[in-house]
Chain A
Amino acid sequence: MTRPFPIAATRRQFLLVAGSAGLAPLLAPKPAAATADSMAAAIREVVGEASVRPGKVKLELPPLIENGNAVPLTVTVDSPMTDSDHVKAVHLFNEKNPQPNVASFHLGSRAGRAKISTRIRLADSQKVIAIAQMSDGSFWSDSVDVVVTLAACLEDSPP
């Protein structure tokens, strides 16, 4: 299947396209995947127009992931967890999986401690973001950049 080259927006892109006639398949659009933009949109859906400040949240992920199928993650939020001052929810987002959302955890003053552990899937090396929604309406965040490699010996489909 061939497509006509799109007219590039910038002169530099146009020169690249013109000089590489044999590279059409490489310039085909990427399959739908989360991008920094869709992650920003997913965050906006939760946060609205409020500002998100770095702090109070600690997101822990191993910097070098053994296997992207099951990545251990712990998120802790510094909060007294009283009726008047507590974490309402913690939301996790990622940059390069097919979808930007990972999970949303809903807490409240009965939690006692705002600390959650789980295991997530990461399709590629990327940024993971945790956003805490506090009872006073403020939002706080932390982010971690992780490196994800494929296993050394790729196997056949299961027996």
Chain B
Amino acid sequence: MRTPGLLSLIILAEVAGAVVPARAAEIPQSDRRSGYDSMSPETRAMQDDDSANPATFWVLDGEALWNQKAGEANRACADCHGDARDSMKGVAARYPAFYAARSRPIDLEQRINICRSEKQKAPAFAPESKELLALTAFVGRQSRGMPIAISIDRMVEFLDAGRSLFQRRQGQLNLSCSQCHDDNWGKILAGNTIPQAHPTGYPIYRLEWQGLGSLQRRLRNCMIGMRADPYEFGSPEHVALELYLMWRARGMKMETPGVRP
């Protein structure tokens, strides 16, 4: 199996190891760029045009699920939330959000599953299942174009945990997320531009996957690529990282559902 990125990553690790400060600097607000900006015009067109974006299939499936009665309670999302175009506007832009019943932040997937099990009395959707991806894509689509607006009220310790995870060296290559995405964004690694890693478009249609996937799937891929043990879906580490990443991208426009290479 070819691993063309491995040599580049080892060189990067050796260079970065020599000069990395104790705490990497965050990207200045005005320098923040979405991964969209380094895509080719054709791939951007694929994201911008709903009829050319394969993610639209998931959004439409999500809309169907939204209106479908389910579970022992025989309720549809629409029965409580009405038209998602109104009720879900801006919702994805403020997740992960604090959930008082658990005294911790939860992400949108967890929120959907809480509604599913507690309100619809139906079994929760499995991580990365078609249904869960369809609903998060549909709900996320209602925030497209809106600025990410995370409130860290009651969540400061989780934000700090997420930041530590982002800046922590890990895996066989002893690299942190920050070394690529804060310190070396914009440079080319194995033919691709290193993005700043803002989760503005999730769930995304990733060309590499030839399908739609969540931020957690992408984070697991990154960690496997760094030769680190990936976190499990739904783990507290993932939610803390998602919280930090969304807060780091605060004010940037939601692009859901995005297209990425």
Please tell me whether chains A and B touch each other in their complex, using a CB distance cut-off of 8 A.
yes
Q: Which residues from chain A sit less than 8 Å from chain B, CB to CB?
A: 62, 64, 66-67, 69-70, 72, 147, 149-156, 158-159
A70 to B207, CA, bound (A): 6
Q: How far apart are A63's CB and chain B's nearest CB, in angstroms?
A: 10
In-complex Cβ contact of A153 among B1, B40, B43, B226 (8 A): B226
Contact (Cβ within 8 A) B207 A150: no
Contact (Cβ within 8 A) A72 B42: yes
Name the residue on A nearest B223 (C-beta).
Answer: A153
- Within 8 Å CB of B31, what residues of A? none
Task: Please tell me if B103 contacts chain A, counting CB pairs below 8 Å.
Answer: no
- Known A64-B191, A66-B261, A67-B261; contact A153-B221, beta-carbon cutoff 8 A: yes
What 1/0 flags go to B1-29 for Cβ under 8 Å of A?
A: 11111001000000000000000000000
Name the residue on A nearest B128 (C-beta).
Answer: A159
Contact (Cβ within 8 A) A66 B192: yes
In-complex Cβ contact of A152 among B1, B191, B220, B224 (8 A): B191
- Within 8 Å CB of B46, what residues of A? 72
Contact (Cβ within 8 A) A66 B4: no
- Within 8 Å CB of B156, what residues of A? none
- Within 8 Å CB of A154, what residues of B? 1, 3, 5, 224-225
A77 to B221, CA, bound (A): 42
- Within 8 Å CB of B4, what residues of A? 149-150, 152
Contact (Cβ within 8 A) A67 B207: yes
Number of interchain pairs (Cβ within 8 Å) = 72
Q: How far apart are A149's CB and chain B's nearest CB, in angstroms?
A: 3
A152 to B42, CA, bound (A): 21
Q: How far apart are B257's CB and chain A's nearest CB, in angstroms?
A: 15
Contact (Cβ within 8 A) A151 B208: yes
In-complex Cβ contact of A155 among B207, B208, B211 (8 A): B208
Contact (Cβ within 8 A) B224 A67: no
Task: Please tell me if B217 contacts chain A, counting CB pairs below 8 Å.
Answer: yes
Highest count of chain A CB atoms <10 Å: which of B5, B46, B222: B5
Task: Please tell me if B64 contacts chain A, counting CB pairs below 8 Å.
Answer: no
A147 to B192, CA, bound (A): 12
Q: How far apart are B57's CB and chain A's nearest CB, in angstroms?
A: 15
Contact (Cβ within 8 A) B3 A151: no
- Known A66-B40, A70-B210; contact A155-B191, beta-carbon cutoff 8 A: no
Task: Please tell me if B190 contacts chain A, counting CB pairs below 8 Å.
Answer: yes
Q: How far apart are B260's CB and chain A's nearest CB, in angstroms?
A: 9
Contact (Cβ within 8 A) A152 B40: no
- Within 8 Å CB of B186, what residues of A? none
Question: Can you pick out 12 interface pairs between chain A and chain B where the beta carbons lie within 8 Å of each other?
Answer: A66-B39, A66-B43, A67-B208, A72-B43, A150-B191, A152-B192, A153-B225, A154-B5, A154-B225, A155-B221, A155-B225, A159-B217
Task: Please tell me if B185 contacts chain A, counting CB pairs below 8 Å.
Answer: no
Q: How far apart are B162's CB and chain A's nearest CB, in angstroms?
A: 20
Contact (Cβ within 8 A) A152 B208: no
Task: Please tell me if B233 contacts chain A, counting CB pairs below 8 Å.
Answer: yes
Contact (Cβ within 8 A) A69 B207: yes
Q: Taking A67-B207, A70-B210, A151-B192 as given, write out 17 further A-B residue pairs in contact, using a Cβ cutoff of 8 Å, ordered by the A residue number.
A: A62-B42, A66-B40, A66-B192, A69-B207, A70-B207, A72-B40, A150-B4, A152-B5, A152-B8, A152-B189, A152-B190, A152-B225, A154-B3, A154-B225, A155-B208, A158-B128, A158-B211
In-complex Cβ contact of B40 among A62, A151, A156, A159 (8 A): A62
A67 to B46, CA, bound (A): 14
- Within 8 Å CB of A156, what residues of B? 220-221, 224
Q: How far apart are B218's CB and chain A's nearest CB, in angstroms?
A: 9
A149 to B194, CA, bound (A): 14
- Known A66-B207, A70-B210; contact A153-B2, beta-carbon cutoff 8 A: no
